[in-house]
Structure 1
Amino acid sequence: MSKLKKLPLAVRLIIVSALMLIVMAGTLTFVGHHEMRQTLKEFAQEENVFGARALMETLEEIYPEIEISTTAAGAITQIIWPVVPDSVPADAADTASEITGLDPTIFAFDRGTQSFVRVATTILNEDGGRAIGTPLARNEAYHALIDGAVFNGLVDIQGVPYNVYYRPILNESGTVTGAIALAQPHADLQASLQTKLDTKMLWVVVALSVMLPIAYLVMRSMLSPLGKMTKLITGMSEGRFDDAIPYDTRGDELGEIANSLKILQNSLRAADELKQANAARQAETERQQAEQRIVVTTLTEGLSKLSQLDLTVRIQNTDAEPFPAEYETLRTSFNELVDQLTETVSSIQVIAEEVTGDAREMAGSSSDLSSRTESQAATLQESAAALEELSQSVQSTAENAADAETTTNENREVTKATGEVVTNAIAAMEAIEASSQQINQIISVIDDIAFQTNLLALNAGVEAARAGEAGRGFAVVASEVRALAQHSSASAQEIKSLIAASSQQVETGSGLVRDAGKALNDIIDRVDRVAGLVSDIAVSAKEQSVGVSEINAGVRDLDAATQSNAAMAEEASAASEGLTNAAEKMTARLARFRLEGQAARANWAAAAVVSMADTPTDTGIAPIDLKQAASADPFRGF
């Protein structure tokens, strides 16, 4: 690096330019390589799309059922082929290959094996024959075709890398029935890319070989005037101011440098002349320095007194102590400044007294407000707590009323169910009563039959007696029949008596059940009225609970606001006390100034001391000692 700095500027610029050209050439080569690779890739993809269109148009002439959808630019968007045959003429693939220069392939999808099988192709297998009947490898292209998507990329076919374009073939329902593929050997694409890169590198080398000598000559011719300029500057540094300066008529940077050197030459010539004239002015300068020392000394004394807060100081101009006439404006300005400062401090003292009084009144008011606010906040907090308990009690009552409403509704439903049971019992009693009446009618019929049978048996006995011996057996039968008829009549009477008693009991039970039903209906009506009342009570309790909750929320918000107001009141009270203390401190500070009229200032200072002595001790700020404050930094706090 040190050796490079010792070289002439022209050589260094040429080296740097050459390095920049080389770096630029390398960058352009790298960017061009990337762009060319991308361009070739896009060109290969466009060729694949064009080949797919040529292949499908060839197949469309053989298979009319094929339907092709394309974009406005002619790119295929969808291929509809209901059934891809197991064998497709090889001429179709050969024709498409001749048109595009690519290797086309047609696949049929085998649903049993879930494979894409080649049915026509120009790709050869290992033995030199067409790869008909071979399945597509289950790679990225396979998964894309299964999903009905297009694949465009690099894959291995029969062990050889190809740049391929796969598009699925669908039926009318959108199910995959096959696929087409256009392939180009990746090696051919790489060879084309390498040839173009070699050509580009050759052109870059030729361009560098031509540009570097040209750059050297141009740099040398452009930088040669700098040497002459350097010699001129060296001569001016040695005191030669009469050398002619060239290139002052040029319109470039060298012309500007030449014009600047002319100005510098004239300036150095004038400076040399001034150097000779400075000797005559030395005496005048010494006189001015003496006057300046007087002014500086006087101002130093006046500013020293001002630093001690003495506003009575003035700069005088007398015969005994004359002040330089050239600096009379400075003396007058100093005196006017002290007068204005005296007037300002006096005004501030009056304002400080007023601020101290107002601050003390504000502190008292803020303290009272803080106390009242704290008391109000405590009362409101107790009210909020009581209202919270009332809200909880009302909410508990609402919940109990809701439970009572639920229980009453359940009792009403049970009572209604019992009423239905009693109604059914009344209906059953009435049915039993009707059955008893029918049984009585049947027994009456049986009794009539027994009476008729008894008459018939009696007549049969009379006729058997008339028949004599021949009718004796019939008389016995007639006697038995009569006895049976009498027995049946007696049994029927007993049953009739029992049925009558049972009917009487059933009638009594029916009456009792009817009375129970009436009483139960009355109970149901009363339960309905009670349920309605309980429901109204539950609704009212809920509404009261909601209202009390809203009031409770409002009271909580009011409590929070009151607490915040109390805090703000305390802060205001503290701020007022701080303002009072600050005003008293300012009063004490202003008391340190020495003004015209010492008696008035002393009275004012005494009042300030008394007011600070009366300051409440709970503020935490001790009264200021004026003597100690006077010995401290005079401008502290300002």
Structure 2
Amino acid sequence: MSSTRLDRLLRRLSPGAITRSYLAKFAVVVILVVLAIGAVGAVTYAETTDRLEANAQQDYTAVAELSATEIDVWTSDHRSIARETADSDAFGFTREPEEVESYLTSQLSWQPDEIVAFHYVNRQEGTLIASTDHERGTAITETNWLSDGLLIGEDTYTSPTYEVDDERHVSYVAYTPRRNYFVMEVSLASIVGDLRQPTDGSFTTIVQSDGVIGASDREGTVAEPYADEVRDAMISGSAVGHVSSATFEFADDAEYFVAYAPVPSEDWYVAVHVPLAEAYALSGMIGRNLLLIVGVAVVGLGLLGATLGRGTVAELNRLTRKARALESGDLDVGFDTERRDEFGDLYGAFSTMRDSLGEQIESAETQKRRAEDAKAESEAFAERLESRAAAFGATMDDCADGDLTARLDVEPDDPDALADIADGFNDAMDELEGAIAEVDAFAGQVAARSEAVTDGADEVAAAGRETSDAVDEISAGAERQSRRLSEVAGEMEDMSATVEEVAASADQVATTSREANAVTEEGREATAAAVAELHDVEERSESATETIERLEAEMAEVDAIVETISEIADQTNLLALNASIEAARAGEAGSGFAVVAEEVKALAEETQSSAAEVETLIDGLRERTDESVAEMSRIREGVDAGVDTVETADDALSEVATRVAEADDGVQEISGAMDAQASSVNEVTGAVDDLAGVSQQTTAEATTVASTAEEQAATLGDVSEQAHALTERARDLRRMTEGFEVDGERDVGDGKTDLGVFDDSDRDADSDRDADTDFDFGMTDSGQSVSADGGTDEAREPGLVDGSLNANAEE
């Protein structure tokens, strides 16, 4: 149970709990302020108390020191009187006791009242010679402190205090000229009566060197010894000091503050005793007043925190509950209050915020409903446009693949702009299909009538005029299409973002495709360089092999020569042996011959040895040559294999390059198409204007083509001069047009429709040279033209079908 309470208390005192509660923070601040005030008050109290106590100690010590000074002056005066009186000639050797006593009586008469008697004592015998009071003098001679060796030099001795008739007396002893003692007895009543009492209940004592009280202004304290701690404190040193607290049996065991000071001229101390309560009465009073001030401040802050803080926190809690209700969506929560202070303003602000939130929420819900409806309509329209665009794209893809019979279907719910696009596209395809059919027919006619050049030229002219008419119709369709394109802009705005993204992706893919094609070309070039290098290595290896083989053959010759030398050496050695035998037979007559034979034999042996060494070297060289030949053979085989591998890689790269080029063409077509679509959608009006301009350009080019066809018809007379070339070209044209099927699957490249007739640029060329006639059959949005041989040429302008009729005859 206690553990649970402790946990709850710790949670309440945790930093998180404090930061979440204004009351906790206010309480913490109040506590901190109270602690700060308490700490400052405690420090101030301690410092003030210490300072006041130190001041009191200094004051009481000053009183003790002042009293010691006064006693010092008093004792010094009496010591001087004793010294001066003792030095008188009245104590000479010729003086009688009566004369001395008379002198003492006369001297005592004018002395202060505290001097009670003069005595003249025989130092050695200790007897009284003369006195102003024989009874007191006799008593003095009987004390234990008066002895023969009492004085040293001319000093004056001060006796211990003693009591006479309830008074404390002290005697001063000095030498007389006859070296006897002069004793002056003095009462301490006057000096004790003048001792200072700084407070009520305080008393002052004169302490002798043995720690016994010699005199005091308080009854019952004289001749009482001090405790060891107080006596040691006073007697152990000669400085002024104090004892903070001490109790005395002779003072009813009460606590006293004791300040003491030494008397310089005597071996005495003055001790001032102040009751502890009186000694620090001022510091206690000021400390109590200071604690009272701190207590009042703490209580005041506590009451302030309990009233102001609690009321503020309660009001904030109520406002927090209302604000949380407002946060949860309760707009009916009330913020009415009768307060006119800052809390009233805060309630008013929350009320205004509640009303504003209600209006904003209602407005936001209305806008949300409208936005949802608009979004639904936009999504439906976008889906419809996307579906129709996909259908249009599929049909255009079929046309691009060669199916010129494919047409765009128009549905009743299609927007007018889409319907206009479909109609324009279908009209263009009808005209293109008719143009292709006419070209095919024209090609057949040219092939069939190649022998009748003039008639064929007329037919070609007629076909050119028909083509011109068709181009005129295409131009008119392009004009209609340009007018209708302006109506498409509004409907295509919603497709802008999607088409732009697709166009960007297509451009990126096209760029990547071009980079791949370039990398492939670099690979092919690197492969070709590698093949050339390998062939070079192969040639070098073959040359090295031939050199080694020649070296091997030469080594074989050298080996044969060495064998011959060896045989000659053997024969020479044999001859030398025979010569030696013959010399031995001849005796002394053949001694010279024997010497020569020995030399020849030695030379033959050396030759044989050298030949053997040469043969050994040749054998080693032959082995290394054989190894080199084998190694070169392996190198040649490796080079041949490398050449085959590299050539295979080159073939593969060539194939890859071909495929990449084909892919690049396709990607370029897609990129071109998407660029055209993105341009038409993203730029909206600008794109439509561009397309209209393209249509106008198409019309102009169609007119130009028509003029060109007429010019060609006018110049057909020149065609007869190149009948053979025309026949070959007609056959080529026939073969090219056979690839088109007007009413079935037709392969027309990527759908470009530039319809051309013969270009007579080569009519002056040699009739035996081969003619390569290309017919461009229009353009598509991809920006390329389709030639009659299935290839593609770069188009002049991207866009719709421009209907231009160009004929290019390339040699």
Q: Would the TM-score normalized by the shorter structure come out above 0.5?
A: no
- Looking at secondary structure, tell me which structure has more helix per residue: 1
Structure whose alpha-carbon radius of gyration is higher: 2
Scaled by the length of structure 2, the TM-score of the pair is 0.26
